[in-house]
């Protein structure tokens, strides 16, 4: 059986890897892509997603344009991480055939959830703004869209845009808080705790460069990303945040360890805004959450099978 997924993406480099893996995973049936601001503007993430869909020959899938900013404040982008175009300044042409739907990302999400009640998994590779807006349209959304897997947040490791905040939580803390506090969802948080040290290495890049056109498309954008990460890692490699998230949806056996924890997002701190705060003193296995009684539990990943993920990604993208 396949899992129907909506992939919500702020298509920068690692997000393109995740979208590519979703299209190459037989366990997944991508019923829609939705775009969101984040790594670059929503105009660019929409265009990047459209071109990716054409490269992979999936012009049959709807693409809906989403939010251009968070629920509060103005967006901030990461050209030093993903390039001015979001895809490593690779110089790709514009998409020729794919145009966004008339429906917004939030509207399409609600419509598909009602069309496939209980069947969809929402895979969020960027800020949670689109899902928060969909919830505002239909407060009963979790009844129809029960499963959410989010590439965002951090609990056990430092942040990556501030000392304590991960990028996708920091881009829209209000949206993330709105989603994480909504009862009825089964939310899995694939945060920096497992993504930041799940790496693709230089040898993987060389294999992609020699692969089919789809693999070469991924390879064309990776050097920019690896240059950025090399300053942090001390070697030519990069984190595969979004691709790992998609892989876990396709194959949950990649998860080694997780904890059910109450998670909230700091909205007001001058130093801590966007921090995902988990109460690690209590969890779902030892009696609940006395201090945050109305906060649902989130499945927060702690460890994954990194080698198995790497093999899955490389084999599927390279066509083996």
Q: What is the pLDDT of residues 195-206, one digit of tens each?
A: 999 999 999 999
pLDDT of residue 1: 85
CB 191 within 8 A of CB 89: no
Rounded to 5 degrees, φ, ψ at 292 are -120, 70
CB 124 within 8 A of CB 152: yes
pLDDT of residue 288: 56
- If one counts the domains in the chain, the total is 1
Segment 236-258 shows an average pLDDT of 98
Per-residue pLDDT band for 40 (boundaries 50, 70, 90) equals very high
CB 130 within 8 A of CB 6: no
The answer on pLDDT for 215 being more than 80 is: yes
Range of the domain at 236: 3-318
pLDDT of residue 92: 98
- Domain at 75, CATH number: 3.90.245.10
Strand, helix or coil for residue 186 = strand
> Catalytic residue among 8, 85, 172, 241, which?
241
Nearest-angstrom CA–CA distance, 37 and 133: 14
Q: What is the DSSP string of 205-235?
A: HHHHHTS-HHHHHHHHHHHHHHHHHHHHHSS
pLDDT of residue 144: 97
State pLDDT tens for residues 260-306.
999 999 999 999 999 999 998 865 554 556 678 889 999 999 999 99
pTM of the model: 0.97
State pLDDT tens for residues 104-153.
999 999 999 999 999 999 999 999 999 999 999 999 999 999 999 999 99
**Angle, in degrees to the nearest 10, between helices 105-115 and 129-137:** 60
> Catalytic residue among 8, 10, 168, 193, which?
10
Provide the mean pLDDT of the chain.
Answer: 96
State pLDDT tens for residues 155-166.
999 999 999 999
- Which residue stretches of the chain are H helix? 13-23, 42-55, 79-82, 105-115, 129-137, 141-144, 167-171, 173-180, 192-195, 202-209, 213-233, 241-250, 306-318
Concerning whether 10 is annotated as a catalytic residue, the answer is: yes
Nearest CA-CA partner of 221 in 40, 317, 88: 88
- 16-29 CB burial, b ≥16 within 10 A, e <16: bbbbbbbbbbeebb
pLDDT of residue 283: 54
Concerning whether 60 is annotated as a catalytic residue, the answer is: no
Segment 32-46 shows an average pLDDT of 98
């Amino acid at each position: 059986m396949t899992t129907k997924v909506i992939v919500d993406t702020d298509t920068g480099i690692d997000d393109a890897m995740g979208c590519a893996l979703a299209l190459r995973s037989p366990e997944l049936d991508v019923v829609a892509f939705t775009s969101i601001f984040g790594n670059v503007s929503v105009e660019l993430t929409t265009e990047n997603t459209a071109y990716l869909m054409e490269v992979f020959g999936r012009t049959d899938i709807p693409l809906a344009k989403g939010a251009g900013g968070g629920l509060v404040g103005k967006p901030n982008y990461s050209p030093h991480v993903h390039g001015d175009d979001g895809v490593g300044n690779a110089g790709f042409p514009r998409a020729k055939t794919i145009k966004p739907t008339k429906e917004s990302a939030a509207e399409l999400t609600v419509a598909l959830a009602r069309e496939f009640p209980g069947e969809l998994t929402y895979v969020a590779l960027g800020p949670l703004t689109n899902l928060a807006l969909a919830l505002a349209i239909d407060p009963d959304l979790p009844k129809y869209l029960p499963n959410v897997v989010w590439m965002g947040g951090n609990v056990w490791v430092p942040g990556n845009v501030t000392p304590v905040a991960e990028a996708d939580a920091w881009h829209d803390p209000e949206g993330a808080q709105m989603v994480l506090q909504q009862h009825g969802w089964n939310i899995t948080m694939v945060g920096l705790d497992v993504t930041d040290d799940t790496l693709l290495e230089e040898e993987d890049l060389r294999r992609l460069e020699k692969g089919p056109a789809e693999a070469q498309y991924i390879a064309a954008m990776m050097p920019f990303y690896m240059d950025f990460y090399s300053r942090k890692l001390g070697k030519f490699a990069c984190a595969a945040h979004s691709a790992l998230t998609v892989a876990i949806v396709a194959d949950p056996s990649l998860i080694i360890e997780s904890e059910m924890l109450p998670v909230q997002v700091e909205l007001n701190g001058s130093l801590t805004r966007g921090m995902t705060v988990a109460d690690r003193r209590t969890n779902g296995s030892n009696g609940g959450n006395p201090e945050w009684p109305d906060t649902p539990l989130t499945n927060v990943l702690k460890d994954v099978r990194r080698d198995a993920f790497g093999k899955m990604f490389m084999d599927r993208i390279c066509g083996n």
